[in-house]
Amino acid sequence: MWNKKSIIKPIITLALFLGLEILSFNIIRQNNSFQQHIINNRISEVKLTISGFFSDIYSYTDLKKKNAILHQENSELRNRIAIFQTLYDSTKLLSAHINLPVIDSTSIIGDFSFIPAEIISNSTNMLNNYLIINKGSKDGVRSEMGVISKNGIIGIVSNTSDRFSRIESFLSVGRSVSAKVIPSNSYGNIVWDGKSPKYAILNEIPHHIEVNVGDTVVTSGFSTMYPKDIPIGEIESHVKKGSHHHIIVRLFIDYSSLKYVYVAINNNKEEIEQLTK
């Protein structure tokens, strides 16, 4: 049977020992200046360590909030750039001698607008990869919308729920994107071949067009899913095959470390698609 006295006695002994240790510690600290100096330094070091630990936690949390704010601000800036690009494209062909009316930029709708989103799931090791983002139909996301990041194309929205969306990644075999090479301004299709997530293949550039290692590959703007001139990658190597170049493109995006993206809404999509029926 459990004996209370057998438990209480060791506890009292331990408490007495700890009390005497603390008392001795204080006596040494108060009566020996050298020991007091060492102890105070140790206490200060412990305090700084603890303070630094909690400061790091706060900084990490604060940094995550700041990143989210910056992501939202970048989305707003992209929307503004799209608006002013539309304005510029609409007026650059007009003669400087024409007296143009003052245009209110707030009444202009750009070709594209953008919804910022955060990736909550991502795959890169399959033949048909996908992502899940934290924005859905309630946020205005619809199927067949393009998704981009600050460094390039991400993929196409394939399915949505109220609060989330599934993205068919560019790293999917058979999914091609219309692209342009700068500075030659030649057009072709870029596609992932199912091998390395760092590279893609650019086809359909005629062999008489000069392309060079280091040339930049961007979106052409021919698709209703992606804005034009979104960076994709740079030419790493090329060989002539038949009447066309076979071009290896090093992608700008590290798909394995993606965190934030933008869903691109083509504000003219319905009107354009009506003309193609």
Contact 229, 221 (CB under 8 A): yes
Amino acid at 178: S
Q: Is the pLDDT of residue 112 over 60?
A: yes
Per the rule left: phi > 0, alpha: psi between -120 and 50, beta: everything else, 174 is left
Q: Give the pLDDT mean for 146-166.
A: 93
Q: What confidence category does residue 214 fall into, taking pLDDT thresholds of 50, 70 and 90? A: very high
pLDDT tens digits for range 192-207 = 999 999 999 999 999 8
Q: Is the pLDDT of residue 80 over 90?
A: no
Angle 145-150-154 (CA atoms, 0-180°, nearest 5)? Answer: 40
The CATH architecture annotation of domain 112-277 reads: Beta Barrel (2.40)
Per-residue pLDDT, 125: 92
Where exactly does CATH 2.40.10.340 map onto the chain?
A: 112-277
Mean residue pLDDT of the chain comes to 78
Q: Is the pLDDT of residue 105 over 50?
A: no
Q: Is the pLDDT of residue 187 over 80?
A: yes
Burial of residue 198 (number of CB atoms within 10 Å: 0-12, 13-18, 19+): middle
Contacts of 270 (CB under 8 A, 6+ apart): none
3-state SS track over 151-184: CEEEEEEEEECCCCEEEEEEEECCCEEEEEEECC
CA torsion through residues 221, 226, 227, 228, sign: negative
pLDDT tens digits for range 113-151 = 899 999 999 999 999 999 999 999 999 999 999 999 888
**What is the rounded distance in angstroms from the CA atom of residue 141 to the CA atom of residue 234?**
30
Q: Give the pLDDT mean for 25-39.
A: 57
Residue 130 CB coordination number (10 Å): 17
The token pair at 117 is 């989103």
Contact 35, 28 (CB under 8 A): yes
Contact 175, 192 (CB under 8 A): yes
pLDDT tens digits for range 35-48 = 555 555 665 565 55
**What is the rounded distance in angstroms from the CA atom of residue 117 to the CA atom of residue 96?**
41
Please state the pTM of the whole predicted model: 0.64
Per-residue pLDDT, 36: 57
Q: Is the pLDDT of residue 100 over 50?
A: no
Q: Is the pLDDT of residue 109 over 60?
A: no
Lowest mean pLDDT among 61-70, 81-90, 149-158, 165-174: 81-90
Q: Could you say which DSSP state residue 111 is in?
A: S
Per-residue pLDDT, 101: 46
First to last CA, the chain: 90
Per-residue pLDDT, 231: 92
Q: Give the pLDDT mean for 220-232.
A: 91
Lowest mean pLDDT among 78-87, 137-146, 222-231: 78-87
